[in-house]
Structure 1
Protein backbone atom coordinates (compact mmCIF):
# COMPACT_ATOMS: atom_id res chain seq x y z
CA UNK A 1 0.00 0.00 0.00
CA UNK A 2 1.35 3.44 -0.92
CA UNK A 3 0.70 6.71 0.83
CA UNK A 4 1.23 9.00 -2.15
CA UNK A 5 -1.43 11.48 -1.04
CA UNK A 6 -0.29 11.73 2.57
CA UNK A 7 0.58 15.41 3.19
CA UNK A 8 4.29 16.14 3.38
CA UNK A 9 6.17 19.21 4.54
CA UNK A 10 9.32 20.31 2.72
CA UNK A 11 11.69 22.19 5.02
CA UNK A 12 15.07 23.83 4.57
CA UNK A 13 17.60 25.47 6.89
CA UNK A 14 17.81 29.16 5.99
CA UNK A 15 19.21 32.42 7.31
CA UNK A 16 22.56 30.73 7.86
CA UNK A 17 24.69 33.81 7.48
CA UNK A 18 26.56 36.15 9.81
CA UNK A 19 27.31 39.76 8.89
CA UNK A 20 28.69 39.98 5.36
CA UNK A 21 29.03 36.19 5.11
CA UNK A 22 26.10 34.25 3.69
CA UNK A 23 25.29 30.65 2.79
CA UNK A 24 22.87 29.35 0.20
CA UNK A 25 20.16 31.06 -1.83
CA UNK A 26 17.32 31.67 0.63
CA UNK A 27 15.09 33.45 -1.87
CA UNK A 28 15.22 30.56 -4.32
CA UNK A 29 14.70 27.92 -1.63
CA UNK A 30 11.65 29.79 -0.32
CA UNK A 31 10.02 29.27 -3.71
CA UNK A 32 10.21 25.51 -3.10
CA UNK A 33 9.80 24.72 0.60
CA UNK A 34 6.77 24.94 2.87
CA UNK A 35 8.76 25.50 6.09
CA UNK A 36 11.88 27.57 6.76
CA UNK A 37 14.13 26.67 9.70
CA UNK A 38 15.80 29.98 10.47
CA UNK A 39 19.17 30.09 12.23
CA UNK A 40 18.97 32.24 15.36
CA UNK A 41 22.46 32.85 16.68
CA UNK A 42 23.89 29.48 17.66
CA UNK A 43 25.65 28.10 14.58
CA UNK A 44 24.76 31.07 12.37
CA UNK A 45 22.36 33.96 12.14
CA UNK A 46 22.41 37.51 13.43
CA UNK A 47 19.75 40.22 13.66
CA UNK A 48 19.99 41.16 10.00
CA UNK A 49 19.93 37.65 8.61
CA UNK A 50 17.07 36.66 10.92
CA UNK A 51 15.00 39.64 9.83
CA UNK A 52 15.69 39.09 6.13
CA UNK A 53 14.86 35.37 6.28
CA UNK A 54 11.78 35.94 8.41
CA UNK A 55 10.47 38.72 6.17
CA UNK A 56 11.01 36.67 3.02
CA UNK A 57 9.36 33.58 4.49
CA UNK A 58 6.38 35.57 5.73
CA UNK A 59 5.95 37.19 2.32
CA UNK A 60 5.68 33.77 0.69
CA UNK A 61 3.47 32.23 3.36
CA UNK A 62 6.19 29.79 4.39
CA UNK A 63 6.00 28.50 7.97
CA UNK A 64 8.81 29.39 10.39
CA UNK A 65 10.68 27.25 12.89
CA UNK A 66 13.63 28.26 15.07
CA UNK A 67 16.79 26.42 14.04
CA UNK A 68 18.56 26.25 17.40
CA UNK A 69 22.11 25.01 17.89
CA UNK A 70 25.10 24.78 20.17
CA UNK A 71 26.89 28.16 20.49
CA UNK A 72 29.45 27.23 17.85
CA UNK A 73 29.82 29.76 15.04
CA UNK A 74 33.30 28.56 14.13
CA UNK A 75 32.24 24.95 13.79
CA UNK A 76 28.86 25.78 12.23
CA UNK A 77 27.20 23.89 15.05
CA UNK A 78 28.55 20.56 13.88
CA UNK A 79 30.70 19.85 16.95
CA UNK A 80 29.24 18.24 20.06
CA UNK A 81 29.42 20.45 23.16
CA UNK A 82 29.07 18.86 26.58
CA UNK A 83 27.39 21.84 28.21
CA UNK A 84 25.31 21.74 31.38
CA UNK A 85 21.57 21.06 31.08
CA UNK A 86 20.72 24.45 32.60
CA UNK A 87 22.93 26.23 30.07
CA UNK A 88 21.42 24.28 27.17
CA UNK A 89 17.88 25.08 28.30
CA UNK A 90 18.73 28.79 28.53
CA UNK A 91 20.51 28.79 25.15
CA UNK A 92 17.49 27.28 23.43
CA UNK A 93 15.18 29.81 25.09
CA UNK A 94 17.40 32.74 24.10
CA UNK A 95 17.72 31.62 20.48
CA UNK A 96 14.02 30.91 20.05
CA UNK A 97 13.12 34.15 21.80
CA UNK A 98 15.28 36.17 19.44
CA UNK A 99 13.56 34.71 16.40
CA UNK A 100 10.13 35.11 17.99
CA UNK A 101 10.81 38.80 18.50
CA UNK A 102 11.95 39.24 14.91
CA UNK A 103 9.00 37.27 13.59
CA UNK A 104 6.61 39.43 15.62
CA UNK A 105 8.19 42.54 14.10
CA UNK A 106 7.51 41.09 10.64
CA UNK A 107 3.95 40.02 11.41
CA UNK A 108 4.84 36.31 11.48
CA UNK A 109 4.96 33.56 14.09
CA UNK A 110 7.49 30.89 15.06
CA UNK A 111 5.58 27.62 14.93
CA UNK A 112 8.15 25.17 16.23
CA UNK A 113 11.78 24.36 16.99
CA UNK A 114 14.22 22.29 14.96
CA UNK A 115 17.68 21.61 16.45
CA UNK A 116 20.69 21.85 14.14
CA UNK A 117 23.74 19.74 13.42
CA UNK A 118 25.50 18.18 16.38
CA UNK A 119 22.69 19.09 18.76
CA UNK A 120 20.16 17.37 16.49
CA UNK A 121 22.36 14.26 16.42
CA UNK A 122 22.96 14.32 20.18
CA UNK A 123 19.23 14.37 20.86
CA UNK A 124 18.98 10.97 19.22
CA UNK A 125 20.72 9.34 22.20
CA UNK A 126 21.73 11.91 24.85
CA UNK A 127 19.00 11.72 27.48
CA UNK A 128 20.31 14.59 29.60
CA UNK A 129 20.49 17.04 26.73
CA UNK A 130 17.14 15.82 25.43
CA UNK A 131 15.56 16.62 28.80
CA UNK A 132 17.16 20.07 28.75
CA UNK A 133 15.73 20.88 25.33
CA UNK A 134 12.29 19.59 26.30
CA UNK A 135 12.35 21.80 29.38
CA UNK A 136 13.10 24.78 27.17
CA UNK A 137 10.13 23.95 24.95
CA UNK A 138 7.89 23.71 28.00
CA UNK A 139 9.11 27.07 29.29
CA UNK A 140 8.48 28.54 25.84
CA UNK A 141 4.82 27.61 26.15
CA UNK A 142 4.90 24.17 24.57
CA UNK A 143 6.34 24.90 21.14
CA UNK A 144 6.40 21.76 18.93
CA UNK A 145 9.66 19.96 18.17
CA UNK A 146 11.02 18.68 14.85
CA UNK A 147 13.12 15.54 15.39
CA UNK A 148 14.30 12.26 13.90
CA UNK A 149 12.26 9.06 14.28
CA UNK A 150 13.57 6.96 17.16
CA UNK A 151 15.44 9.82 18.85
CA UNK A 152 15.25 9.75 22.65
CA UNK A 153 14.05 13.36 22.59
CA UNK A 154 10.87 12.25 20.81
CA UNK A 155 9.58 10.16 23.72
CA UNK A 156 10.77 12.77 26.23
CA UNK A 157 8.88 15.52 24.40
CA UNK A 158 5.68 13.53 23.99
CA UNK A 159 5.76 12.51 27.66
CA UNK A 160 5.96 16.22 28.53
CA UNK A 161 2.98 17.00 26.29
CA UNK A 162 5.08 18.53 23.50
CA UNK A 163 3.92 17.82 19.94
CA UNK A 164 6.58 16.26 17.71
CA UNK A 165 6.97 16.40 13.93
CA UNK A 166 9.09 13.52 12.66
CA UNK A 167 11.55 14.38 9.92
CA UNK A 168 13.50 12.60 7.21
CA UNK A 169 16.25 13.77 4.85
CA UNK A 170 16.20 13.66 1.09
CA UNK A 171 19.92 14.34 0.66
CA UNK A 172 21.52 12.33 3.46
CA UNK A 173 22.44 8.63 3.55
CA UNK A 174 21.07 6.51 6.38
CA UNK A 175 22.62 3.81 8.54
CA UNK A 176 20.75 0.55 9.32
CA UNK A 177 19.78 1.85 12.79
CA UNK A 178 17.91 4.77 11.21
CA UNK A 179 20.48 7.44 12.07
CA UNK A 180 22.23 9.62 9.52
CA UNK A 181 25.57 8.55 8.12
CA UNK A 182 28.21 10.89 9.63
CA UNK A 183 29.32 13.63 7.25
CA UNK A 184 32.91 12.41 7.62
CA UNK A 185 31.98 9.21 5.76
CA UNK A 186 32.16 9.31 1.94
CA UNK A 187 28.68 9.28 0.43
CA UNK A 188 26.99 10.67 3.54
CA UNK A 189 25.63 13.64 1.56
CA UNK A 190 23.68 12.79 -1.58
CA UNK A 191 24.21 15.21 -4.46
CA UNK A 192 23.09 13.21 -7.51
CA UNK A 193 19.63 14.49 -8.53
CA UNK A 194 18.38 11.01 -9.41
CA UNK A 195 19.40 9.65 -6.00
CA UNK A 196 17.98 12.58 -4.06
CA UNK A 197 14.62 12.60 -5.85
CA UNK A 198 14.34 8.81 -5.58
CA UNK A 199 15.00 8.95 -1.83
CA UNK A 200 12.50 11.77 -1.38
CA UNK A 201 9.82 9.80 -3.20
CA UNK A 202 10.61 6.65 -1.24
CA UNK A 203 10.22 8.51 2.05
CA UNK A 204 7.01 10.19 0.88
CA UNK A 205 5.25 7.13 -0.53
CA UNK A 206 6.86 4.06 1.05
CA UNK A 207 7.77 5.68 4.38
CA UNK A 208 11.33 4.44 4.34
CA UNK A 209 14.66 4.24 2.52
CA UNK A 210 17.36 1.78 1.61
CA UNK A 211 20.82 2.11 3.12
CA UNK A 212 23.97 1.83 1.02
CA UNK A 213 24.08 -1.83 2.09
CA UNK A 214 20.51 -2.48 1.02
CA UNK A 215 18.85 -2.59 4.46
CA UNK A 216 15.35 -1.09 4.73
CA UNK A 217 14.88 1.75 7.23
CA UNK A 218 11.37 2.76 8.27
CA UNK A 219 10.83 6.54 8.26
CA UNK A 220 7.23 7.41 9.18
CA UNK A 221 7.86 11.13 8.81
CA UNK A 222 5.68 14.18 8.22
CA UNK A 223 8.47 16.51 7.08
CA UNK A 224 11.33 16.17 4.61
CA UNK A 225 14.49 18.28 4.89
CA UNK A 226 16.32 19.73 1.90
CA UNK A 227 19.67 21.15 2.99
CA UNK A 228 20.31 24.63 1.67
CA UNK A 229 24.09 24.14 1.82
CA UNK A 230 24.24 20.93 -0.23
CA UNK A 231 26.03 21.45 -3.58
CA UNK A 232 23.39 22.38 -6.16
CA UNK A 233 20.81 22.76 -3.39
CA UNK A 234 18.30 24.88 -5.31
CA UNK A 235 18.24 22.63 -8.37
CA UNK A 236 17.92 19.58 -6.12
CA UNK A 237 15.08 21.16 -4.18
CA UNK A 238 13.20 22.05 -7.34
CA UNK A 239 13.69 18.53 -8.71
CA UNK A 240 12.42 16.99 -5.46
CA UNK A 241 9.31 19.17 -5.38
CA UNK A 242 8.52 18.44 -9.02
CA UNK A 243 8.99 14.69 -8.54
CA UNK A 244 6.76 14.63 -5.48
CA UNK A 245 4.01 16.71 -7.03
CA UNK A 246 4.10 14.67 -10.23
CA UNK A 247 3.62 11.58 -8.05
CA UNK A 248 0.55 13.00 -6.32
CA UNK A 249 2.15 13.99 -3.02
CA UNK A 250 0.40 16.97 -1.43
CA UNK A 251 2.86 19.44 0.04
CA UNK A 252 1.93 21.56 3.05
CA UNK A 253 3.57 22.83 6.22
CA UNK A 254 3.49 20.44 9.17
CA UNK A 255 3.05 23.22 11.76
Structure 2
Protein backbone atom coordinates (compact mmCIF):
# COMPACT_ATOMS: atom_id res chain seq x y z
CA UNK A 1 0.00 0.00 0.00
CA UNK A 2 1.04 3.57 -0.50
CA UNK A 3 1.64 6.40 1.92
CA UNK A 4 -0.52 9.52 1.98
CA UNK A 5 0.18 13.14 2.80
CA UNK A 6 -1.42 12.52 6.19
CA UNK A 7 1.76 11.08 7.64
CA UNK A 8 4.87 9.05 6.99
CA UNK A 9 4.05 5.37 6.75
CA UNK A 10 0.28 5.91 6.78
CA UNK A 11 -1.49 3.09 4.94
CA UNK A 12 -3.77 4.26 2.14
CA UNK A 13 -5.92 2.18 -0.16
CA UNK A 14 -8.51 2.92 -2.81
CA UNK A 15 -11.76 0.96 -2.98
CA UNK A 16 -13.17 0.47 -6.46
CA UNK A 17 -16.24 -1.23 -7.86
CA UNK A 18 -17.68 -2.05 -11.30
CA UNK A 19 -20.77 0.10 -11.82
CA UNK A 20 -23.21 1.12 -14.54
CA UNK A 21 -23.54 -2.49 -15.65
CA UNK A 22 -27.25 -2.56 -16.44
CA UNK A 23 -28.70 -2.25 -19.94
CA UNK A 24 -32.07 -0.80 -20.83
CA UNK A 25 -34.68 -2.33 -18.51
CA UNK A 26 -32.11 -4.78 -17.09
CA UNK A 27 -30.48 -3.66 -13.84
CA UNK A 28 -27.50 -5.17 -12.08
CA UNK A 29 -26.23 -4.23 -8.64
CA UNK A 30 -27.02 -1.21 -6.47
CA UNK A 31 -24.97 1.63 -7.94
CA UNK A 32 -26.38 4.23 -5.54
CA UNK A 33 -25.40 2.28 -2.43
CA UNK A 34 -21.97 1.32 -3.76
CA UNK A 35 -21.17 4.95 -4.59
CA UNK A 36 -21.58 5.77 -0.89
CA UNK A 37 -18.87 3.25 -0.02
CA UNK A 38 -16.21 3.21 -2.75
CA UNK A 39 -13.74 5.89 -3.77
CA UNK A 40 -13.43 4.91 -7.44
CA UNK A 41 -16.14 3.80 -9.88
CA UNK A 42 -15.19 1.57 -12.80
CA UNK A 43 -18.01 2.58 -15.12
CA UNK A 44 -19.00 0.31 -18.01
CA UNK A 45 -18.55 1.87 -21.44
CA UNK A 46 -21.29 0.14 -23.44
CA UNK A 47 -19.36 -2.81 -24.84
CA UNK A 48 -19.93 -5.37 -22.08
CA UNK A 49 -22.77 -3.49 -20.33
CA UNK A 50 -24.21 -0.03 -19.85
CA UNK A 51 -26.28 2.24 -22.06
CA UNK A 52 -25.95 6.04 -22.43
CA UNK A 53 -28.69 6.84 -19.91
CA UNK A 54 -27.32 4.48 -17.26
CA UNK A 55 -23.78 5.75 -17.76
CA UNK A 56 -24.84 9.37 -17.51
CA UNK A 57 -26.75 8.68 -14.30
CA UNK A 58 -23.82 6.87 -12.69
CA UNK A 59 -21.37 9.59 -13.75
CA UNK A 60 -23.65 12.28 -12.32
CA UNK A 61 -23.94 10.43 -9.00
CA UNK A 62 -20.20 9.80 -8.85
CA UNK A 63 -19.45 13.46 -9.54
CA UNK A 64 -21.89 14.52 -6.82
CA UNK A 65 -20.24 12.23 -4.26
CA UNK A 66 -16.65 13.02 -5.23
CA UNK A 67 -16.00 9.48 -6.48
CA UNK A 68 -13.33 9.11 -9.18
CA UNK A 69 -14.66 7.88 -12.53
CA UNK A 70 -12.75 5.21 -14.44
CA UNK A 71 -13.49 3.83 -17.90
CA UNK A 72 -14.04 0.09 -17.64
CA UNK A 73 -13.27 -1.05 -21.17
CA UNK A 74 -14.05 -4.53 -22.40
CA UNK A 75 -14.58 -6.80 -25.35
CA UNK A 76 -17.62 -6.13 -27.54
CA UNK A 77 -19.73 -8.79 -25.81
CA UNK A 78 -23.07 -7.64 -24.38
CA UNK A 79 -24.56 -11.14 -24.47
CA UNK A 80 -21.68 -12.63 -22.50
CA UNK A 81 -21.19 -9.64 -20.18
CA UNK A 82 -17.65 -9.31 -21.48
CA UNK A 83 -16.56 -12.51 -19.79
CA UNK A 84 -15.88 -14.47 -22.99
CA UNK A 85 -12.51 -14.34 -24.71
CA UNK A 86 -12.71 -12.73 -28.15
CA UNK A 87 -9.81 -13.00 -30.58
CA UNK A 88 -9.45 -9.35 -31.55
CA UNK A 89 -6.59 -8.09 -33.69
CA UNK A 90 -4.42 -5.86 -31.46
CA UNK A 91 -4.78 -2.88 -33.83
CA UNK A 92 -8.57 -3.21 -33.73
CA UNK A 93 -8.48 -3.56 -29.94
CA UNK A 94 -6.57 -0.27 -29.69
CA UNK A 95 -9.34 1.46 -31.66
CA UNK A 96 -12.11 -0.13 -29.59
CA UNK A 97 -10.50 0.89 -26.30
CA UNK A 98 -10.08 4.48 -27.53
CA UNK A 99 -13.74 4.49 -28.57
CA UNK A 100 -14.91 3.36 -25.14
CA UNK A 101 -12.76 5.82 -23.19
CA UNK A 102 -13.92 8.70 -25.37
CA UNK A 103 -17.59 7.81 -25.02
CA UNK A 104 -17.51 7.67 -21.23
CA UNK A 105 -15.26 10.71 -20.94
CA UNK A 106 -17.78 12.75 -22.94
CA UNK A 107 -20.62 11.71 -20.64
CA UNK A 108 -18.54 12.36 -17.50
CA UNK A 109 -17.60 15.86 -18.70
CA UNK A 110 -21.26 16.72 -19.28
CA UNK A 111 -21.80 15.88 -15.60
CA UNK A 112 -18.90 18.08 -14.44
CA UNK A 113 -16.31 15.36 -14.03
CA UNK A 114 -14.04 13.34 -16.31
CA UNK A 115 -12.52 9.91 -16.78
CA UNK A 116 -9.49 9.79 -14.46
CA UNK A 117 -8.22 6.24 -15.10
CA UNK A 118 -8.85 3.11 -17.18
CA UNK A 119 -9.44 -0.48 -16.09
CA UNK A 120 -10.23 -3.41 -18.40
CA UNK A 121 -13.20 -5.66 -17.61
CA UNK A 122 -13.74 -9.39 -17.49
CA UNK A 123 -12.09 -11.48 -20.19
CA UNK A 124 -10.12 -8.50 -21.49
CA UNK A 125 -8.73 -7.93 -17.98
CA UNK A 126 -7.74 -11.57 -17.63
CA UNK A 127 -6.26 -11.78 -21.13
CA UNK A 128 -4.24 -8.60 -20.59
CA UNK A 129 -3.02 -9.92 -17.25
CA UNK A 130 -1.17 -12.79 -18.95
CA UNK A 131 -0.82 -11.84 -22.66
CA UNK A 132 1.74 -9.09 -23.42
CA UNK A 133 0.24 -8.33 -26.85
CA UNK A 134 -3.21 -7.70 -25.38
CA UNK A 135 -1.77 -5.71 -22.51
CA UNK A 136 0.29 -3.55 -24.87
CA UNK A 137 -2.78 -2.85 -27.05
CA UNK A 138 -4.74 -1.60 -24.04
CA UNK A 139 -1.82 0.53 -22.87
CA UNK A 140 -1.26 1.94 -26.36
CA UNK A 141 -4.89 3.02 -26.62
CA UNK A 142 -4.70 4.88 -23.31
CA UNK A 143 -1.42 6.54 -24.24
CA UNK A 144 -2.92 7.72 -27.54
CA UNK A 145 -6.02 9.10 -25.84
CA UNK A 146 -4.46 10.67 -22.74
CA UNK A 147 -1.08 9.63 -21.38
CA UNK A 148 -1.93 11.06 -17.95
CA UNK A 149 -4.63 8.44 -17.32
CA UNK A 150 -3.46 5.68 -14.94
CA UNK A 151 -4.00 2.05 -15.98
CA UNK A 152 -5.40 -0.29 -13.35
CA UNK A 153 -4.34 -3.91 -13.57
CA UNK A 154 -3.86 -7.05 -11.52
CA UNK A 155 -0.85 -6.68 -9.23
CA UNK A 156 2.22 -8.33 -10.76
CA UNK A 157 0.53 -8.84 -14.14
CA UNK A 158 1.50 -8.15 -17.75
CA UNK A 159 -0.99 -5.28 -17.74
CA UNK A 160 0.93 -3.44 -15.03
CA UNK A 161 4.16 -4.11 -16.92
CA UNK A 162 2.63 -2.78 -20.15
CA UNK A 163 1.60 0.42 -18.40
CA UNK A 164 5.21 0.95 -17.35
CA UNK A 165 6.51 0.18 -20.85
CA UNK A 166 4.10 2.70 -22.34
CA UNK A 167 5.00 5.48 -19.93
CA UNK A 168 1.65 5.32 -18.15
CA UNK A 169 1.06 5.32 -14.40
CA UNK A 170 0.35 1.72 -13.34
CA UNK A 171 -2.06 1.12 -10.47
CA UNK A 172 -1.75 -2.37 -9.01
CA UNK A 173 -5.06 -3.90 -7.95
CA UNK A 174 -6.20 -6.69 -5.67
CA UNK A 175 -9.63 -8.32 -5.42
CA UNK A 176 -11.64 -8.54 -2.23
CA UNK A 177 -14.02 -11.27 -3.35
CA UNK A 178 -12.03 -13.36 -5.83
CA UNK A 179 -9.82 -16.38 -5.17
CA UNK A 180 -6.17 -16.33 -6.28
CA UNK A 181 -4.00 -19.00 -7.86
CA UNK A 182 -0.54 -19.65 -6.35
CA UNK A 183 0.84 -17.68 -9.33
CA UNK A 184 -1.08 -14.56 -8.31
CA UNK A 185 -3.73 -14.75 -11.05
CA UNK A 186 -7.48 -14.94 -10.49
CA UNK A 187 -9.11 -18.35 -10.28
CA UNK A 188 -11.48 -18.90 -13.22
CA UNK A 189 -15.11 -18.18 -12.43
CA UNK A 190 -15.90 -21.60 -13.87
CA UNK A 191 -14.24 -23.25 -10.87
CA UNK A 192 -15.77 -23.78 -7.45
CA UNK A 193 -14.58 -21.29 -4.87
CA UNK A 194 -13.57 -18.65 -7.40
CA UNK A 195 -15.88 -16.03 -5.84
CA UNK A 196 -16.05 -15.39 -2.09
CA UNK A 197 -19.32 -14.39 -0.42
CA UNK A 198 -18.92 -14.11 3.37
CA UNK A 199 -18.53 -10.40 4.32
CA UNK A 200 -16.48 -11.06 7.48
CA UNK A 201 -14.06 -13.38 5.70
CA UNK A 202 -13.65 -10.93 2.84
CA UNK A 203 -13.16 -7.99 5.21
CA UNK A 204 -10.45 -9.80 7.16
CA UNK A 205 -8.77 -10.72 3.88
CA UNK A 206 -8.74 -7.08 2.80
CA UNK A 207 -7.21 -5.94 6.08
CA UNK A 208 -4.45 -8.51 5.56
CA UNK A 209 -3.95 -7.28 1.99
CA UNK A 210 -3.71 -3.66 3.09
CA UNK A 211 -1.49 -4.16 6.12
CA UNK A 212 0.80 -7.01 5.06
CA UNK A 213 0.56 -7.15 1.27
CA UNK A 214 -0.27 -10.84 1.32
CA UNK A 215 -3.26 -13.05 0.60
CA UNK A 216 -4.01 -16.75 0.90
CA UNK A 217 -4.22 -18.52 -2.46
CA UNK A 218 -6.88 -21.14 -3.17
CA UNK A 219 -4.28 -23.83 -2.39
CA UNK A 220 -3.69 -22.43 1.09
CA UNK A 221 -0.28 -20.97 0.27
CA UNK A 222 0.57 -17.34 1.01
CA UNK A 223 1.35 -15.04 -1.92
CA UNK A 224 2.52 -11.42 -2.07
CA UNK A 225 0.03 -8.94 -3.52
CA UNK A 226 1.16 -5.32 -3.27
CA UNK A 227 -1.82 -3.26 -4.38
CA UNK A 228 -2.93 0.37 -4.32
CA UNK A 229 -6.59 -0.40 -4.97
CA UNK A 230 -8.99 -3.14 -3.87
CA UNK A 231 -11.96 -4.12 -6.02
CA UNK A 232 -15.31 -5.14 -4.54
CA UNK A 233 -17.49 -6.38 -7.38
CA UNK A 234 -20.81 -4.56 -7.65
CA UNK A 235 -22.56 -7.58 -9.22
CA UNK A 236 -21.63 -10.09 -6.50
CA UNK A 237 -24.67 -11.16 -4.42
CA UNK A 238 -24.59 -9.14 -1.21
CA UNK A 239 -22.13 -6.64 -2.72
CA UNK A 240 -23.27 -3.72 -0.58
CA UNK A 241 -22.92 -5.67 2.67
CA UNK A 242 -19.49 -6.86 1.56
CA UNK A 243 -18.34 -3.33 0.67
CA UNK A 244 -19.63 -2.00 4.00
CA UNK A 245 -17.79 -4.72 5.95
CA UNK A 246 -14.57 -4.12 4.00
CA UNK A 247 -14.66 -0.37 4.53
CA UNK A 248 -15.42 -0.64 8.26
CA UNK A 249 -12.69 -3.24 8.76
CA UNK A 250 -10.06 -1.23 6.89
CA UNK A 251 -10.82 1.98 8.76
CA UNK A 252 -10.81 0.05 12.02
CA UNK A 253 -7.33 -1.26 11.16
CA UNK A 254 -6.07 2.29 10.67
CA UNK A 255 -6.12 2.25 6.88
CA UNK A 256 -7.10 5.47 5.09
CA UNK A 257 -9.61 5.03 2.25
CA UNK A 258 -8.89 7.46 -0.59
CA UNK A 259 -8.95 7.48 -4.40
CA UNK A 260 -5.63 7.16 -6.25
CA UNK A 261 -6.91 9.59 -8.91
CA UNK A 262 -8.31 13.06 -8.20
CA UNK A 263 -12.09 13.07 -8.98
CA UNK A 264 -12.21 16.66 -10.25
CA UNK A 265 -13.40 18.21 -13.48
CA UNK A 266 -10.90 19.08 -16.18
With the length of structure 2 as denominator, give the TM-score of the two structures: 0.93
* Equivalent in the alignment of 2:46: 41
* Equivalent in the alignment of 2:30: 25
Residue pairs, 1:36-115, within 5 angstroms: 36-115=41-120
Q: Does 1:169 align with 2:175?
A: yes
Deviation of the 1:189 alpha carbon: 0.3
Deviation of the 1:228 alpha carbon: 0.5
Deviation of the 1:202 alpha carbon: 0.9
Structure 1, unmatched stretches of 5+, are none
Distance (whole Å) between structure 2 residues aligned to residue 93 and residue 211 of structure 1: 35
Residue pairs, 1:128-143, within 5 angstroms: 128-142=133-147, 143=149
* Equivalent in the alignment of 1:124: 129
Correspondent of 2:235 among 203, 221, 229: 229
Structure 2, unmatched stretches of 5+, are 4-8, 262-266
Q: Does 1:160 align with 2:166?
A: yes
Deviation of the 1:132 alpha carbon: 1.1
Distance (whole Å) between structure 1 residues aligned to residue 30 and residue 68 of structure 2: 17
How well do the aligned residues superpose, as a CA RMSD in angstroms? 1.1
Correspondent of 2:187 among 158, 181, 184: 181
Distance (whole Å) between structure 2 residues aligned to residue 91 and residue 55 of structure 1: 24
Deviation of the 1:135 alpha carbon: 1.1
* Equivalent in the alignment of 2:6: none
Distance (whole Å) between structure 1 residues aligned to residue 63 and residue 108 of structure 2: 8
Deviation of the 1:251 alpha carbon: 0.4
* Equivalent in the alignment of 2:16: 11
Distance (whole Å) between structure 1 residues aligned to residue 258 and residue 158 of structure 2: 26
Distance (whole Å) between structure 2 residues aligned to residue 170 and residue 98 of structure 1: 29
Q: Whose strand fraction is larger, Structure 1's or Structure 2's?
A: 2
Aligned length: 253
Correspondent of 1:194 among 192, 200, 215: 200
The range that moved more, 33-42 or 152-161, is 152-161
The range that moved more, 111-120 or 143-152, is 143-152
Distance (whole Å) between structure 2 residues aligned to residue 15 and residue 84 of structure 1: 27
Distance (whole Å) between structure 1 residues aligned to residue 77 and residue 214 of structure 2: 32
Q: Does 1:210 align with 2:216?
A: yes
CA deviation vs aligned residue, 1:32-76 (integer Å, no higher than 9, x gap): 000000001110011001100000000000001000000000000
* DSSP 3-state at the match of 2:63: helix
* DSSP 3-state at the match of 1:5: strand
